[in-house]
Amino acid sequence: MIYPNSVKDRETSEYPYVELFRDLASATCRPNSTLVTYGYSFGDEHINRVIIDMLTIPSTHIVIIAYGDPLGRIMRFVNESGRKAQISLLLGDHFGDIKNLVDFYLPKAAIDRSSIRMAELLKSRGLYRTTISNNSEDAE
């Protein structure tokens, strides 16, 4: 964690942060990558530069999720990026609420209907038993 102070820029240019920024750039600055930010206010220029570098690759995309933008930094970033087509903006109380995101917008876990049906058949035949210990289910 880097706390806001007068030497913050110097601290982020030293180990281990310089390595973390290199990893961020390496992971995001490649074709077809997508970066999702949740609650980032776009107030750190050194991070914004990495994101702008990422957006120079036409197949990259950023999804910005935030409760609001009271300081106008997010909209300033979007407007100054010159890459609006590569930015999805989910801004406001509804999108900022993690429960709403999970319930209504994020993909659900893949459900394998055949596995569910097989478990139901095994249960009906008495070959599948639910155990209480460790909240696990065992097939016999």
pLDDT in tens, 69-84: 999 999 999 999 999 9
Residue 100 identity (one-letter amino acid): N
Residues 39 and 87 in one domain: yes
Spell out the alpha helix ranges (H) of the chain. 8-12, 17-28, 45-55, 73-81, 93-96, 98-100, 113-124
**Would you say residue 1 lies in a domain?**
no
Residues 91 and 119 in one domain: no
Helices (H) then strands (E): counts for the chain: 7, 5
**Would you say residue 99 lies in a domain?**
yes
According to DSSP, the β-strands at 137-139 and 128-130 are antiparallel
Residue 67 has pLDDT above 90, yes or no: yes
Mean pLDDT over each residue of the chain, to the nearest integer: 84
Give the pLDDT of residue 34.
Answer: 95
Show the domain range for 100: 8-108
Number of domains in the chain: 2
Residues 17 and 85 in one domain: yes
Alpha-carbon dihedral angle through residues 53, 54, 60, 63, given to the nearest 10 degrees: -110
Give the pLDDT of residue 139.
Answer: 47
Give the pLDDT of residue 140.
Answer: 46
Residue 60 has pLDDT above 80, yes or no: yes
Nearest-angstrom CA–CA distance, 78 and 72: 10
Lowest mean pLDDT: which of 16-30, 48-62, 68-82? 16-30
Lowest mean pLDDT: which of 1-5, 25-29, 110-114, 115-119? 1-5
What angle in degrees, to the nearest 10, is found between the helix axes of 45-55 and 17-28? 20
**Would you say residue 60 lies in a domain?**
yes
Residues 96 and 123 in one domain: no
**Would you say residue 77 lies in a domain?**
yes
- The SS3 of residue 81 is helix
